[in-house]
Structure 1
Amino acid sequence: MREMHDLGSVLDHVGREGSLDGTVVQGVDLSESEHVVTSVTCRGTTFLGCGLGPGALAHVIATGGIAFPDLDGLPFEPYRPRLYAQGELLHGWDPDTAGSFDERALDSRIHRWSSLTPPGRNPEVLDALARRLHDHAIDDALGEHLDDHPEVVAVMGGHSVLRTDAEYRTVAELGRAMAREGWYVATGGGPGAMEAANLGAWLSPRDDDALDEALALLSVEPDFHRADGYLAAGLDVLRRFDDGADSLAVPTWFYGHEPTNQFATSVAKYFANSIREDGLLAIATRGVVFAPGAAGTLQEVFQDATQNHYEVFGVVSPMVFLDTEFWTRTLPAEPLLRTLAGERAYADLVGCVDGADAAMAFLRYHPPVTRAR
């Protein structure tokens, strides 16, 4: 179905096709263009959160279309037609003016709204619908976005890694190398190892010395729990290096106390963490690298393994464990995964390495395998 996200596209389509039949019109204010809608048929047309006057709405229904109304009083757009842009979720917060990130930023306001429903309780019907509509819109926008990025490689890892840790530098070097390889770097969009990978991708067009300078700027506040100083340091890096490369973040308001990392240029943020995690692993067909982490990262390891084990998407992708000591002794997931894999196709695509260069070498020499379904 043809999707349209602005008035110009609607006018062009009507002029060319003479109808709106079988299209989706998303988030377009048509209240001043009622004649455009009423002059054509709308058989099978879906209007999502569009401005429609009474006459246009009656015409849509009478000619076989359907309209989902806008939902008032929300701090987000449930029908948004595109991913969040870099910095968009920080809107309302400025480190040079009064008010903290927790009070002012759009990111925080959305998290506060979602937290009105106590843990373990179902949201009110309209709130639940708003969340589902939003996450569906993000799914749709992400699918369109990835049409231009066929080789996605994901980096998973702990949010507690400090910007001053050696592990942070290693993951940043890896993100930089992946982007230079021509792969599209995606992460869970939070702090720690996730931020490091997006930072590396952002700096990939620069000389290697840029990473040293960026890490020095970030060291002013290495811990995301002090969000205002942490984000201000990130802004200093973005001002110093303002022409970085594209990458993707896929965070969630389920972990809403974590600020969305600043170095991804496109952000697919979800309310439902389960959809976010499974979806991020599903799009990473070029491979997934697991930096050290805790329960969340371990969960992602076996979610990815399940996709490979049952060849859910028809692609078996490499899985790289970064830090041999951690993944074979501290949290020995790699030996368990090898036992699980047995003789299956993905057994040969599991690697355990140390350092960014070794991770890149494994990924280069172990491309994904497409399986007939």
Structure 2
Amino acid sequence: MTIERPNGAERPQEKQRGPVVLRRSRLSEASTTDQRLLDSRGPTDWVHTDPWRVLRIQSEFVEGFGALAEVPRAVTVFGSARTPREDPEYQRGVEIGAALAGIGCGAITGGGPGTMEAVNRGASEAGGLSIGLGIELPFEQGLNPWVDLGVNFRYFFVRKTMFVKYAQAFICLPGGFGTLDELFESLTLVQTKKVTKFPIVLFGKSYWQGLYDWVRDSMHASGKIDAKDLALLHLTDDVDDAMSVVHEAYEAWEAAH
């Protein structure tokens, strides 16, 4: 299987293991670094390797901070890796990537296919900064060909730190468990004031309305969150509206600093 590149050339299917690229016969190495870290089963000698894992984790933070330290204002965009290129959601991703470039923001994605590729493509083709933060997975998935600045990680928690640290906003397009994970983690960070002036946009009303209604009618109505927590979510179908939310929040943050 091959992946299309912008210039028409092709490259073989690959899997990223941190900075290491696996192709062809090496793709059968299915376990991931995260899996080996978190899986408590197996011989006890795994316990004695944990101090060395700490050094690898430290190196991932150092590499990520070093690669992204000079990134200007940017927005992290999440969405499904399963969105086909002919899907209207893919085109919306391209439009959002281009719009971010238009307001001077880099676009940060998980660097994979589908919606992530669309956003990177839109940003790159519009002359903006297109960033992809990849992750080692048990199935084949390399950085998409529209990533201009890419970093591959072994550990999800290191990658998540980079998604938040170098962004001024989150935009969530329709996605699966990974998108929901990032959405609720970002909401928790904003609610607990670990990050400030950080808007969270749910893009695609038909997809997100049911979730929004549940948060309002169940969580908020039962007192599990309050009105200001509910207000952290901005639901829209309009690219310009999403950009306005991002830009206004950045201006407010800049004025406070």
- TM-score by structure 1 length? 0.54
1:196-232 CA distance string (max 9 Å, x none) = 1111110013xxxxxxxxxxxxxxxxxxxxxxxxxxx
Q: Aligned equivalents of 1:200 and 1:103: distance in 2?
A: 24
Question: What residue identity is the alignment partner of 1:336?
Answer: V
Q: Aligned equivalents of 2:15 and 2:194: distance in 1?
A: 42
1:178-198 CA distance string (max 9 Å, x none) = 012111211111111111111
Candidates 73, 91, 97, aligned match of 1:175? 97
Determine the structure 2 residue equivalent to 1:297.
179
Q: Aligned equivalents of 1:263 and 1:323: distance in 2?
A: 23
Deviation (angstroms), 1:147 = 3.2
Q: Aligned equivalents of 2:157 and 2:113: distance in 1?
A: 19
SS in 2 for 1:250: strand
Q: Aligned equivalents of 1:194 and 1:127: distance in 2?
A: 35
1:150-187 CA distance string (max 9 Å, x none) = 41210001111011111001011111110121112111
The structure in which a higher percent of residues are strand is 2
Determine the structure 2 residue equivalent to 1:189.
111
1:79-125 CA distance string (max 9 Å, x none) = xxxxxxxxxxx9xxx848xxx42499953358655727876357957
Determine the structure 2 residue equivalent to 1:101.
13
Candidates 226, 244, 247, aligned match of 1:342? 226
Question: What residue identity is the alignment partner of 2:194?
Answer: V
Q: Aligned equivalents of 2:204 and 2:140: distance in 1?
A: 28
Question: Is residue 147 of structure 2 the alignment partner of residue 264 of structure 1?
Answer: yes
Number of positions where the alignment pairs a residue of Structure 1 with one of Structure 2: 233
Deviation (angstroms), 1:248 = 1.3
Q: Which runs of 5+ in 1 are unaligned?
A: 1-89, 206-244
Mark the CA change 1:112 to 1:354 in structure 2 (over 3 Å): closer, same or farther: same
Q: Which has the higher relative contact order, 1 or 2, with Cα contacts under 8 A spaced 6 or more apart?
A: 2
SS in 1 for 2:21: helix
SS in 1 for 2:162: helix
Question: What residue identity is the alignment partner of 1:327?
Answer: W
Mark the CA change 1:190 to 1:135 in structure 2 (over 3 Å): closer, same or farther: farther
Deviation (angstroms), 1:149 = 2.0
Question: Is residue 122 of structure 2 the alignment partner of residue 200 of structure 1?
Answer: yes
Mark the CA change 1:198 to 1:135 in structure 2 (over 3 Å): closer, same or farther: farther
Q: Which runs of 5+ in 2 are unaligned?
A: none
Mark the CA change 1:296 to 1:130 in structure 2 (over 3 Å): closer, same or farther: same
Candidates 206, 226, 236, aligned match of 1:353? 236
Candidates 26, 31, 51, aligned match of 1:115? 31
Candidates 189, 192, 203, aligned match of 1:322? 203
Q: Aligned equivalents of 1:347 and 1:300: distance in 2?
A: 17
**RMSD of aligned Cα (Å):** 3.5
Q: Aligned equivalents of 2:48 and 2:152: distance in 1?
A: 20
Question: Is residue 247 of structure 2 the alignment partner of residue 364 of structure 1?
Answer: yes
The within-5 A match list for 1:176-255 is: 176-205=98-127, 245-254=128-137
Q: Aligned equivalents of 1:116 and 1:326: distance in 2?
A: 31
Candidates 302, 309, 315, aligned match of 2:191? 309
1:2-42 CA distance string (max 9 Å, x none) = xxxxxxxxxxxxxxxxxxxxxxxxxxxxxxxxxxxxxxxxx
Larger mean CA deviation between 115-124 and 351-360 belongs to: 115-124
Q: Aligned equivalents of 2:179 and 2:15: distance in 1?
A: 29
Q: Aligned equivalents of 2:15 and 2:253: distance in 1?
A: 47
Mark the CA change 1:178 to 1:115 in structure 2 (over 3 Å): closer, same or farther: same
SS in 2 for 1:257: coil
SS in 2 for 1:155: strand
Q: Aligned equivalents of 1:170 and 1:145: distance in 2?
A: 28
SS in 1 for 2:152: coil
Determine the structure 2 residue equivalent to 1:145.
67
Deviation (angstroms), 1:350 = 2.3
Deviation (angstroms), 1:266 = 1.6
Deviation (angstroms), 1:135 = 4.3
8 Å contact kept, 1:349–1:366: no
1:331-351 CA distance string (max 9 Å, x none) = x1465178365244x654421
8 Å contact kept, 1:111–1:253: no
SS in 1 for 2:75: strand
- TM-score by structure 2 length? 0.75
